[in-house]
Structure 1
Amino acid sequence: MSNPSETPGQRYFVQYTAFRSDPAWRRLPHGAREDGRESLASVIEEYAPDIATWAYSTLGLKVGCELLLWRRGTDPLAMQEMTARLLQSGLGAYLTIEHNLYGFTRPSNYTKRPTTQEQAIDLNDRQTYLTVYPFSKTTEWYLMSKEARQGMMNEHIRVGHEYADIRQVLLYSTGLDDQEFVVAYEMEDMPRFSELVTALRNTEARRYTLRDTPIITGIHRPLRESLALLG
C-alpha cells in the first residue's frame, strides 16, 4: 500500500475502538492463543502505513474492555474492511467491539493555527497514557453568538496552554454518530491530566457540556505486548 501524506493539516479519518475479550479465549491451549494473536497482528501490519495503528491495554482501567486500538487513516471504506478482517482473525473471533469512537480531523473554529498540543494527530510517536471520550454541546451553546462562544473558548484554551506537555486530538463526528466530537488526550503523568480536567471544568464553557462519557483510559504498549495481556 502507498504511504499516506504526513503533511501537517492532513484530514484524517480516525477510530478509537475498544474490544472486550471472551473468557473462552484464555482457556484455549497456549499454542492456539499464540497463533491467534499473530493472526490479528498480521492484519494490522498488512494495512500499514495507509492505516497507522497504536495499541493500548485498558486491562484493569476500564470495565468491559481490555484492548483499545487507535487507528488513523484517510479512507472509511478501508477502515471498515480492516475492522471486518480483524474480527475474522484468530484472536478477533473472540473479541467484541464494546466502544467505537470515530470522526474526522479539521481545523478548529476557535484558533488560527494548531498548537503543538493539537498537532499530536500528525505524530507517530505516542505517549504512555491515552484517555478518550465522546463529547457533545448543548443546544444553547450553538444558539449563542460566535463572539460569546469565542470568549468562553479563549478561557478554555488559556487553561489548556498551562498544561503544554499534554497532547490533544479533536475529532468531528457531528451528524455521523451519537456524539458531536471525540476528544483524546495523551500524557506521561495521569494525575497531572486529572488536574487539567478539573481546571477545565471550572471554566464557563463547562455549563454547556451535554455529554462527555464514557471515558476510556489505556496504557500504550507495543502491539504484541498489548495482545499478550489478553492471555
Structure 2
Amino acid sequence: MEDVKLPNSTEGQLFVQYTTFKAAPEWRRLPAAAREDLREQFAQVVEEAYPSIVTYAYSTIGFKLNSDLLLWRKGTSPIAMQEMTSRLLQTGIGAYFEQTNLYFGFTRPSNYTKRPTTQEQAIDLEDREPYLIVYPFSKTKEWYLMSRDARQGMMNEHIRVGHEYADVRQVLLYTTGIDDHEFIVAYETDSLPRFEELVIALRSTEARRYTLNDTPIITGVNRPIREALAMI
C-alpha cells in the first residue's frame, strides 16, 4: 500500500471503529478451497477502502468466545465506514459473519491535558504493537456534577500513573450521546502482564470511584488481514 498520511488527531477529528466478527458454525464445514476463495473477497474490500479507511486486523480466537476477528478502522467519514461494513458483510465469508461487538467514536484533544503525550498519539502511527485491548466505559452522574477543578485533580493522578507505563499506547474515543457508552479506550502493548499492571495501578486511583462501567473487554493479536482470516 502506498504511504498516505491521514489527518493527525491534533489537526482534525478521525472517526474510529472497532468491530468484532464471529463466524457461524456452518463456515468451518465448508471445503477448505471454498473457504480460501471466500476469505479473499473480504480481504480485497479492506484493501480497496484504503487510503480513505485504514484497517488493522486482529485475531481474537482463544481470547473471546463470541469473536474470531477484530477490525480497527480509522477514517474521516462515518458514512464511508458504514458503506465499507456493508460491503464486508456481502462478501463470501461476510455472509457467515455475525457482528458481535461494535464500538465507535471520534478523536479529539483531551479536556485534562494541554498536549497529547506519546502514548496518546498512537492513533497517528502506522506500526502496531502485538496486542490490542479495547473496551467501552462511562462515568457516573456524580463525576459530571463535581467542579472542573475537582475532576482535574483526580485526572492529574490518573495521568501521572499512566505516564509510569509510557511503553503502553492509548487511543481514547469520545462517543457521548451517539452510542450507549461515553468513551471507548484502546491500549496497545507488547506484554499483557505489563498492561495488567497498568490497569491495577489505575484502579487504585481516586477517579476509579466514578467509573460506572468498563466492560466488555476485548483482546486481540495483531496479524495481517489474510493471516487473521485464515485462522477462522
Amino acid at match of 1:148: A
Q: How large is the Cα RMSD of the aligned pairs?
A: 1.3
Distance in 1 between the 2:159 and 2:14 partners?
23
Question: Match for residue 6 of structure 2?
Answer: 5
Question: Match for residue 27 of structure 1?
Answer: 29
Amino acid at match of 2:167: D
Q: 1:14 aligns with which of 10, 13, 16?
A: 16
Question: Match for residue 128 of structure 2?
Answer: 126
Q: 2:58 aligns with which of 52, 56, 59?
A: 56
Which consecutive residues of structure 1, in runs of 5 or more, have no partner in the other structure?
A: none
Distance in 1 between the 2:90 and 2:63 partners?
26
Distance in 2 between the 1:125 and 1:87 partners?
27
Question: Match for residue 94 of structure 2?
Answer: 92
Residue 193 of structure 1, CA deviation = 0.2
Question: Match for residue 107 of structure 2?
Answer: 105
TM-score normalised by L of structure 1: 0.97
Distance in 1 between the 2:9 and 2:183 partners?
20
Equivalent residues in 2 for 1:167-206, closer than 5 Å: 167-206=169-208
Which consecutive residues of structure 2, in runs of 5 or more, have no partner in the other structure?
A: none
Q: Over residues 27-62 of structure 1, what are the superposed CA-to-partner deviations in whole Å (9 max), with x where a residue is unaligned?
A: 111111011110000000000011000000000101
Residue 208 of structure 1, CA deviation = 0.1
Q: Contact 1:14–1:102 at 8 Å: present in 2 too?
A: yes
Question: Match for residue 220 of structure 1?
Answer: 222
Instruction: Say which is worse superposed, 210-219 or 8-17, in terms of deviation.
Output: 8-17
Distance in 1 between the 2:42 and 2:155 partners?
42
Q: Secondary structure at the match of 1:112?
A: coil
Q: Secondary structure at the match of 2:152?
A: helix
Distance in 2 between the 1:163 and 1:118 partners?
12
TM-score normalised by L of structure 2: 0.97
Q: Secondary structure at the match of 1:96?
A: strand
Number of matched pairs: 230
